[in-house]
Amino acid sequence: MPLLWRHAAALAFIVFACRAQSPSTLQIAVQEGSGALVPQSSLSSRRFAVQVRTADGRPLPGATVNFRLPEQGPTGAFSSGLRSEALMTDEQGLAHVRGILWGEVPGRLQIRVTATHGGQRAEAFIPVEISTTAVPSAADRQSLSVGGRSGAKKWLILVAAAGGALAGIAVAGGGSSPPVASAVVATPVTPPSIGAPSITIGRPQ
């Protein structure tokens, strides 16, 4: 029996040593955005960045990183309009997202970050809180003023600008009715008329 236990202990040690020497899962280190306090119903310019590393701590380029927002409750949407965003790490193993449009529901949430590379996988979470009292930063307000995350908002700004220009024209003209586009008045041209032909027959010579 003691001999059997010694063999079992030796086998367990070998398995443990093999596992220790084999590559383990990847590592994700949150670089920016952890614990961020963001205003509700706002377009945020804040970056949420992570670095993907190998098992021994080296930066890993070319890894696929997926950022995912919750489906319900306090959440938001990425610039694509979706709740997930996938991209690749750069030469320093870094990947980041920004331009998130936060929802109306206040509260705490977590951005789930998943990294995969060569069959290995790692997962991390970035805590965020949507606040009713937080004030958008100057960068956030600038993002909103130039159209933010979608072309639709830019169209709204253009329409508003056009409406303001038309209103200015109406005020300058002193009238309350909307301005009418000027038309080119063409002077009618009377075609030449040809009267009835007259034939005079004289006395034969």
Residue 92: give its domain's CATH number.
2.60.40.10
What pLDDT is attached to residue 101? Answer: 97
Which strand (E) or helix (H) includes residue 128? strand 120-131
What pLDDT is attached to residue 181? Answer: 41
What pLDDT is attached to residue 77? Answer: 97
Cα–Cα distance list, 44 to 66, 72, 123, 167 (Å): 19, 19, 24, 32
**121 is a domain residue:** yes
**50 is a domain residue:** yes
pLDDT digit string (tens) for the chain, length 205 residues: 454 545 455 544 444 444 444 445 899 999 999 999 999 999 988 999 999 999 999 999 999 999 999 999 999 999 999 999 999 999 999 999 999 999 999 999 999 999 999 999 999 999 999 999 988 877 666 655 444 443 333 333 333 444 444 444 444 444 444 444 444 444 444 545 555 555 555 555 4
Contact (CB, 8 A) for 48 and 80: no
The domain containing residue 43 runs over which residues?
26-135
What pLDDT is attached to residue 90? Answer: 97
What pLDDT is attached to residue 137? Answer: 74
**40 is a domain residue:** yes
Which phi-psi region, left, alpha or beta, contains residue 85 (left: φ > 0; alpha: ψ -120 to 50)?
beta
What pLDDT is attached to residue 144? Answer: 52
**14 is a domain residue:** no
**12 is a domain residue:** no
**95 is a domain residue:** yes
- CA terminus-to-terminus distance, the chain: 161
**6 is a domain residue:** no
What pLDDT is attached to residue 143? Answer: 54
**69 is a domain residue:** yes
Can you tell me the distance from the alpha carbon of 86 to that of 32, in angstroms, rounded to the nearest whole number?
A: 17
Q: Report the domain count for the chain.
A: 1
Can you tell me the distance from the alpha carbon of 105 to that of 21, in angstroms, rounded to the nearest whole number?
A: 47
Q: Within 10 A of 82 (CB to CB), how many other CB atoms are there?
A: 11
